[in-house]
C-alpha cells in the first residue's frame, strides 16, 4: 500500500483479522454483543476496518497532499452546496476550516476531525454504542482551542400526560421498533430483543438512560406521532 496502511481493509467476514474489536451495546442493564450482520454485504458503509495509527497516516496524506496531483486535491477538498467534499464534511470551527466525518454501525463508532492548518487530528474510535463519541470528539477540540469544554448534564425526567403517553406507546414496525412502558418505565425495543431504557424529557422527546442520546417524536397532521421516522402500526 502506498501509505503503509497495513491494518486497514474491507472485511468480507472470511479473513482472520488479529486484534479486531467486536461491537457491544446495552440490553436492559447488561452489556451484550452488537447485533449480527454479514460483513460481505457492508462494502464501504460499515465494512472498512482500521485503527488510529493507519487513520493518522491517511490524515498526513491529506494534509501534505503527497499521493495525488494538486488539481485532484483541489477538487477533493471543494465542498458542494451541502458542505460535503469527496468523503468529508467541511465547516468552520473556532474560525478555522475543519474537515470531519463520523459513523456508527452495530456497536462500532468512529469520529475524525482534521484541522489541517494547525496540524491537529482528533480521532475517537469505540466499540460500544452507549457512549456519544461525537460529543467526546467535540469536547477534545473545544479543550484544544478554548481550554474548556461543556460538561454533559443529566436531563430531568418529566411525568407524561396519560393521553399523550398512549399516543407515543405502540409498535411502529412489528418485531423491529416498539416504544413501550414496562412497570411505569419506558423502553425502545429494537429488533424484538434489544431493550433500550428511555425516559421522557418533554417537547416530545425521550432521553436514553445509558446513552447520551435523545429521540424526538415528530407530530403528524392527524395528531399522531412518528418515532425514528416511522408511523405507529399497532397499538400496545
How does pLDDT run across 214-230, given as a tens digit for each residue? 999 999 999 999 999 99
What does the pLDDT average to over 9-38? 85
Cβ distance 100 to 88 under 8 Å? yes
Tell me how far apart the alpha carbons of residues 17 and 23 are, in angstroms, rounded to a whole number.
Answer: 14
Most confident of the following: 7-16, 75-84, 163-172, 187-196: 163-172
Residue/partner pairs of 11-14 with CB below 8 Å, 24 or more apart: 11/39, 11/42, 11/47, 11/48, 11/49, 12/39, 12/40, 12/47, 13/38, 13/39, 13/40, 14/40
Does the predicted TM-score (pTM) go above 0.85? Answer: no
Chain mean position to CA 186: 22
- Which residues are registered as beta bridge partners of 96? 93
pLDDT the model gives residue 233: 87
Q: What is the mean pLDDT of the chain?
A: 90
Q: With a cut of 90, say whether residue 17 has pLDDT above it.
A: no
Q: With a cut of 80, say whether residue 39 has pLDDT above it.
A: no
pLDDT the model gives residue 130: 74
Tell me how far apart the alpha carbons of residues 91 and 11 are, in angstroms, rounded to a whole number.
Answer: 31
pLDDT the model gives residue 44: 65
Nearest in space to 111 (alpha carbons), one of 121, 92, 120, 119: 121
pLDDT the model gives residue 167: 95
Residue 234 DSSP symbol: B
116 phi, psi to nearest 5 deg: -65, -35
Q: With a cut of 80, say whether residue 236 has pLDDT above it.
A: no
Polymer length of the chain: 236
Q: What is the 3-state secondary structure (H, E, C) of 74-85?
A: HHHCCCCCCCEC
Q: With a cut of 90, say whether residue 42 has pLDDT above it.
A: no
Tell me how far apart the alpha carbons of residues 16 and 107 are, in angstroms, rounded to a whole number.
Answer: 20
CB atoms within 10 A of CB 76: 15
What pLDDT band is residue 207 in, cutting at 50, 70 and 90?
A: very high
Amino acid at each position: 500500500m502506498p501509505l503503509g496502511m497495513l491494518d486497514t481493509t474491507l472485511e468480507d467476514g472470511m479473513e482472520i483479522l488479529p486484534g479486531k474489536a467486536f461491537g457491544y451495546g446495552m440490553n436492559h442493564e447488561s452489556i451484550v454483543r452488537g447485533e449480527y450482520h454479514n460483513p460481505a454485504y457492508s462494502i464501504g458503509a460499515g465494512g472498512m476496518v482500521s485503527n488510529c495509527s493507519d487513520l493518522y497516516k491517511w490524515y498526513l496524506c491529506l494534509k501534505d497532499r503527497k499521493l495525488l496531483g494538486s488539481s485532484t486535491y483541489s477538487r477533493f477538498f471543494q465542498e458542494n452546496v451541502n458542505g460535503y467534499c469527496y468523503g468529508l464534511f467541511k465547516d468552520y470551527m473556532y474560525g478555522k476550516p475543519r474537515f470531519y466525518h463520523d459513523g456508527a454501525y452495530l456497536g462500532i463508532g468512529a469520529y475524525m476531525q482534521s484541522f489541517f492548518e494547525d496540524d491537529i487530528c482528533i480521532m475517537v474510535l469505540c466499540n460500544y454504542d452507549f457512549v456519544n463519541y461525537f460529543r467526546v470528539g467535540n469536547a477534545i477540540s473545544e479543550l484544544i482551542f478554548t481550554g474548556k469544554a461543556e460538561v454533559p448534564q443529566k436531563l430531568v425526567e418529566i411525568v407524561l400526560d396519560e393521553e399523550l403517553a398512549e399516543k407515543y406507546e405502540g409498535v411502529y414496525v412489528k418485531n423491529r421498533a416498539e416504544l413501550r412502558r414496562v412497570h411505569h418505565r419506558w423502553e425502545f425495543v429494537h429488533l424484538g430483543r434489544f431493550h433500550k431504557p428511555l425516559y421522557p424529557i418533554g417537547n416530545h422527546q425521550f432521553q436514553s438512560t445509558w446513552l447520551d442520546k435523545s429521540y424526538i417524536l415528530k407530530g403528524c397532521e392527524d395528531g399522531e406521532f412518528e418515532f425514528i421516522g416511522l408511523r405507529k402500526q399497532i397499538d400496545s
